Amino acid sequence: MSRKRYLGDGAYVELDDYGRGLKLTAEDGWSATDTIFLDAVAWDALVRYVEEVKKRKESTDTESEGR
């Protein structure tokens, strides 16, 4: 079983070879065309960013429902 997970739009994610970071790839159906490695610090920063975006979206959705 592959460790790689499809995210959508040709993007995939998997743990790096050491299990401490993320390996993000953009693929064209045959091979990876671009690769980004995120260490633990960058991974945490990405998670914080996603959490902030979710909070902003929830806040905006709540405001829209109140109108």
The domain spans of the chain are 5-65
Interval 18-52: pLDDT, tens: 888 999 999 998 999 999 999 999 999 999 999 99
Whether this model's pTM surpasses 0.85: no
Query: What is d(CA 20, CA 30) in angstroms, rounded to the nearest whole number?
Result: 26
The structure tokens listed for 37 are: 């490695």
Instruction: Find where tokens 């671009």 sit.
Output: 34
At which residue do the structure tokens 């709540």 appear?
62
